Amino acid sequence: MGGTLPELGASAPGFSLDGVAPGPSKGSEARPTHLQLANLAGSWLVLYFYPKDFTSGCTLEARGFQRDLSAFAAAGAQVIGISADDPDQHASFCGSEGLTYPLLSDPGGQVSKAYGSWIPPFSQRHTFLIDPQGVLQARWTAVRPAGHSQEVLAELQRLQAVAA
């Protein structure tokens, strides 16, 4: 039903999803985008799944990633959120919360299932840290939104220090 969690050390399940990305300038509206995991190779990726735009926990989690976005960028990592909400809903959420990272739409839960994060009709609150070679290096399930972004950032920095 919810899919099987992929193993750490394995290749991250691929995806190809529509969604929204930040506009070309600060404060501009989010624009439609289509992202594939294969096109994100070469940098770290924080891929977080969440149930629904505009809910209290999801808003808190999204704000945390936005607050820490420059630290993730400094560490060479991109942040992408995925839920079952449609791109128009994501665009409204990005505008309302000032989010400047992509949100992707997984309405049937196919990608969420591949990551063990689907209980219809919602993605579950799970986060995955994928290295530049596309390998899963860390995962969090049953995420508590408060402070989660800092938890992910600390693990990213720890993994990078070990690899250095």
CATH of residue 124's domain is 3.40.30.10
Section 93-111 average pLDDT: 94
- CA dist 35 and 147 (Å) reads 27
**pLDDT grade, residue 25 (50/70/90)?**
low
3 within domain boundaries: no
Predicted pLDDT of residue 109:
96
Contact 84, 93 (CB under 8 A): no
In a domain? residue 9: no
Q: What percent of the chain is predicted at pLDDT more than 90?
A: 89
Catalytic residues: 58
Query: Which DSSP symbol is given to 134?
Result: S
**Residue 68 resides in a domain:** yes
Q: How far apart are CA 130 and CA 136, in angstroms?
A: 5
5 lies in some domain:
no
pTM, 2 dp: 0.95
Chain mean pLDDT for the chain? 94
User: Rounded CA gap, 147 and 94, in Å?
Assistant: 20
pLDDT tops 60 at residue 64: yes
Question: Looking at the 3D structure of the chain, how many domains does it have?
Answer: 1
When pLDDT is cut at 50, 70 and 90, the band that residue 2 belongs to is confident
- What amino acid occupies position 152? V
Domain region containing 56: 16-163
- Residue 89 falls inside a structural domain: yes
